[in-house]
Amino acid sequence: MRTEGPGTAPKNGFANKAAANFLLAKLYLNKAVYKAANSAGPYTFDKADMEKVISCADAITSDGYSLDPDYFSAFSNKSRFETIFVSTEGTPQNQWFMSMHFNQNPAGYNGFTTLASFYDKFEDGDIRKGRPGKRDGTLYSGAGVGFMIGQQYDDNGKPLVDTRTLKPLVFTREVPLFGATTTQGIRVLKYHRANYGQYMFMRYGEVALMKAEAQFRGADAASAMATLNDLRAVRKESLLTSLSSDELFDEIGRETYWEGCKRTVEVRFGKFTSGEGVTNKAGYTVLYPIPAVAIVANPNLKQNPGY
């Protein structure tokens, strides 16, 4: 398999040695979950497996990958530092459109939001929190990146109005589970339309986090904290002086939010059945049910316990 570092333009769906090492690292990190007698844990993370995660991460670093000092550049067509495995066919627009309000440019479906409790986990100076749009009159310049909260603006800097209520288009912190208005909830935008970006499957930021977690689970909290502090310095966070499992979990969330990888993290940290809004906390729910249509089509399949 070819070794191709981050200095060249990403190739659509091209997997190099770094991509293979990324996949191996993730498999070894989750091995304890896959082999557990009880799907909900407890999990035993073998030190030998954690050392393999660290070795894979170090191999990726040796190939020339590093953290991008401009966090949101990693999700644009200009990405070079962090890009390991991507689709250059662009992002699935209907997905991020769901977060945008129908009076923004581009107009969206006004759907997904994040929770204020998660937003509050970011320090004020953390660049991953986002930045406002340029509002310089160019197409899509009114929309910023990261978390969208408060008054929203058009491409020319004019405050937007919700045309249904004729009130200022202001995204609020809080959003109820039922009966939310059209402007309640903090919106999220990682793939900006102006970038014509690539969809990220593997990037170096997650490599650094996998290494830190493996060090932590291998009983080397000092090295794990040093690895996290290297990342935090680039992201403009204050440096840690101690490290707990909860702090590590939160850092993974801050770095990889909205990237579709939280479920496996929550399972490893024993939080999948205890998160905000969870009503069924039974351990069997860590595994999803096999669809009935699949079982009918193949009688050899056995339904997961609890369903």
DSSP 3-state assignment of 58? helix
Over range 253-271, report the average pLDDT: 95
Same domain membership, residue 222 and residue 186: no
DSSP 3-state assignment of 278? coil
Same domain membership, residue 50 and residue 175: no
Over range 66-73, report the average pLDDT: 95
Same domain membership, residue 52 and residue 188: no
Q: Which pLDDT tens digit goes with each residue over 265-306?
A: 999 999 999 887 788 889 999 999 999 999 999 999 999 999
- Average pLDDT taken over every residue of the chain: 91
Same domain membership, residue 154 and residue 101: yes
* Domain ranges, residue 43: 17-83+200-274
In a domain, 230, yes or no: yes
Give CA–CA dist 44/31, Å, rounded: 9
pTM: 0.92
Same domain membership, residue 55 and residue 121: no
Same domain membership, residue 183 and residue 155: yes
Give CA–CA dist 168/288, Å, rounded: 42
Sign of CA pseudo-dihedral 2, 212, 23, 258: negative
Total domain count, the chain: 2
CATH number at residue 259: 1.25.40.10
Q: Please, which residues have CB within 8 angstroms of residue 64's CB and are 6 or more apart in sequence? A: 5, 6, 7
pLDDT over 70 percentage in the chain = 93
Q: Are 73 and 180 in contact (CB under 8 A)?
A: no
Lowest mean pLDDT among 5-9, 21-25, 79-83, 223-227: 5-9
Same domain membership, residue 213 and residue 136: no
Give CA–CA dist 126/232, Å, rounded: 8
Same domain membership, residue 217 and residue 163: no
Q: Are 234 and 69 in contact (CB under 8 A)?
A: yes
Q: Which pLDDT tens digit goes with each residue over 113-128?
A: 999 999 999 999 999 9
Q: Are 138 and 194 in contact (CB under 8 A)?
A: yes
Length of the chain: 307
Please provide the DSSP assignment of 123-148 as one string: -TT-GGGEE----SSSTTTT--EEEE
In a domain, 304, yes or no: no
In a domain, 117, yes or no: yes
